[in-house]
Amino acid sequence: MSVREGWDAIVIGSGLGGLTTAAYLCAAGKRTLVLEAHYVAGGNSQVFRRNIRGRQYEFDVGIHYIGECGRDGIITGVLNSLGLAERVVFRPLDPDGYSTLVFPDFSFRVPVGWDRYRARLIETFPDEADALTKVLGVFRSVADDGRDLARGEITIDQLAARAPDFLKWGLRSVSDLFREHGLSERASACLLGEQGDYAVRPSKTPVALQAGIADHFLRGAFYPEGGGQVIAGRLIEAIRAYGGEVRTRACVERIRVDGGRVRGVVMARDGEEIDAPVVISNADLKRTFLELVGAEYFPAERIEQIRGFAMATPLFVAYLGLDIDLAARGWPNSNYFIWGSYDIEGLYDRLEHGEAVPEEMAYVTTASLKDPDTRMIAPEGYTNLQIMTLAPPDYTAFHVSKGPTEGGRYHRDPSYRRAKNALMERLITTAEKLIPDIREHVDWKEAATPVSQERFTRSTGGTSYGIEMSLDQIGPFRVGPTTEVEGLYLCGASTPSGPGITGVMRSGLVAAAAVLETDLLGAVLSGEVLGDRSLLPDLHGNWDAWRESH
């Protein structure tokens, strides 16, 4: 007779939020099981590999550049506290221009540091020096206050006395701020040049979000040595060392609830029931409430809120291997944001009408420049390059009527493939602004649509960012980490911590703290090491993050 499996906690979904939660629970002595439907763990931090005529490429899905990796960064603190300090090394991007914004009639390199950033903006727009100084003053003040709030150094109740700019501007739109100070469309577009990092139209973008993103990278932009999968791989290594388990190809069909509290999960493949008094969902927010648990277990007003949440604008990505070395051509270690127009608000209007607009916005990034020594990323003398753009939120733009989680089949459909390939070719044409001969050097190319994103991460609407970080869906207007069902917790991009690598890892820390009823954030920020390093396996040169994540 088989014994029913039981755990102290179960985490559904292995994005960095879920893995962070599980690692901290395991470090605290809670036997924790992570269940991932895909064949590789990591969520949007995962990579995929291609062997092209004997040449190996490894493409990032979601980690392109991240902040908070310096000495006092939250990512640094989260990893250090788990005993992973020396196991994840971050390489800085070019501090004189970690991002390069390419507009129709000028380019702008974004440097590290608020003072250098302001000086370069004023040099670019000398006639708007006064307005830029005032707008950046608001940004910096709101960013500092938001940082203190996120770190627990001030409370919501103290905002009025200690953070007047945050109270005045934090939840107003950047469009309002720019309009009040009379900024031109060109200068406004330059300030929003990395806007694709969160995919919200300016009139709905909270000043707190834009200021926080700016501050996040102006403190330093980084990339993990060894590729994007390394962070997930090291978290999984810690989970296993501290008594937990990560299972891939393990799709959860339902979260079991009885008597108003969580009892465990039911697996999709064979109906197996796994018991646990605590379940943390790192899965899509809407699917968690409406499918994994069920609307009947929540108050009607909560379900109305969940149904009403707008999802963030999805992305389209072209993955290219080039048979040239861009570093040898003198390319800096910088991201490139190409804008064909200064009317960013109009871009979102076109997206909502189903138009694909890569010539209006494209993000170009090269992993092999950010980490030139990891041969798995690209062969020597070759380049690993991605081109990304915002995509229409309606799948009909790709001739798909039903998403893969609803049983829709699309991958081999000729209409889908034509639409995908056409958009990929348009992105390559846009990238010719940077690399005029790019088409002569394509060794490999493929693309991923929002439908692909839904297939691999089961995200509603195929978005990478969860629910939109708009004025009415930011911070206190979001849900989590606790819920109305006892024992059910949330982490991930749709919680108050928000999207992005830092956001989701912080959400994992917050969720673990809620389960353990302790101040984990304070412990992390104070430098306390909660993981037992002696339990971790020895470091060795042939460790493979991708294989660790299976």
**E strand or H helix at 315:** strand 315-322
Q: Residue 428 has which token pair?
A: 């390559």
Helix and strand element counts for the chain (H, E): 19, 19
Residue 468 pLDDT:
95
CA distance 9 to 515: 9
- Summarised one tens digit per residue, pLDDT across range 403-432 is 778 777 787 888 889 989 999 999 999 999
Taking all residues of the chain, what is their mean pLDDT, rounded to a whole number?
92
448 Cβ contact list (under 8 Å, min separation 6)? 61, 316, 317, 319
Backbone angles phi, psi at 234, to 5 degrees: -70, -40
Handedness of CA 195, 200, 206, 208 (dihedral sign): negative
- Summarised one tens digit per residue, pLDDT across range 372-390 is 999 899 999 999 999 999 9
Question: Is the separation of the CB atoms in 338 and 427 below 8 Å?
Answer: no
Q: Residue 131 has which token pair?
A: 């307005």
CA distance 180 to 193: 20
Quick one: pLDDT band at residue 233, thresholds 50, 70, 90?
very high
**Coil, helix or strand at residue 232:** helix
Q: How far is CA 468 from the centre of its chain?
A: 12
Across 121-146, average pLDDT: 94
Across 476-487, average pLDDT: 94
60 Cβ contact list (under 8 Å, min separation 6)? 47, 227, 228, 367, 386
- Summarised one tens digit per residue, pLDDT across range 77-104 is 999 999 998 899 999 999 999 999 999 9
CATH of the domain spanning 9-78+226-309+468-548, picked from 3.30.70.360, 3.30.470.20, 3.50.50.60, 3.40.640.10: 3.50.50.60
8-state DSSP, 395 = G
- Summarised one tens digit per residue, pLDDT across range 263-293 is 999 999 889 999 999 999 999 999 999 999 9
Answer yes or no: is pLDDT of 1 > 50.
no
Distance set, CA 72 to CA 102, 114, 461 (Å): 31, 17, 35
Q: For the chain, give the percent of residues with pLDDT over 90.
A: 78
Answer yes or no: is pLDDT of 331 > 70.
yes
Q: Which residue type occupies 430?
A: T
CA distance 12 to 246: 10
Output the CA torsion 395→359→219→158 (10° steps): -50
CA distance 283 to 14: 8
Quick one: pLDDT band at residue 189, thresholds 50, 70, 90?
very high
Answer yes or no: is pLDDT of 515 > 80.
yes
Q: Which residue type occupies 355?
A: E
Answer yes or no: is pLDDT of 170 > 70.
yes
Quick one: pLDDT band at residue 454, thresholds 50, 70, 90?
confident
CA distance 378 to 367: 8
**Single pTM value for the model:** 0.94
CA distance 367 to 313: 24
Distance set, CA 127 to CA 34, 122, 160, 341, 461 (Å): 55, 8, 34, 21, 43
Q: Residue 455 has which token pair?
A: 């297939």
From 125, 205, 183, 78, select the one nearest 520 (Cα to Cα).
Answer: 78
Quick one: pLDDT band at residue 2, thresholds 50, 70, 90?
low
Whether omega before 481 lies within 30 degrees of 0, making that bond cis, reads yes
Q: Which residue type occupies 329?
A: R
- Summarised one tens digit per residue, pLDDT across range 289-307 is 999 999 999 999 999 999 9
Give the CA count within 13 Å in the CB-facing half-sphere of 285.
Answer: 32
**284: buried, middle or exposed (CB in 10 Å: 19+, 13-18, 0-12)?**
buried
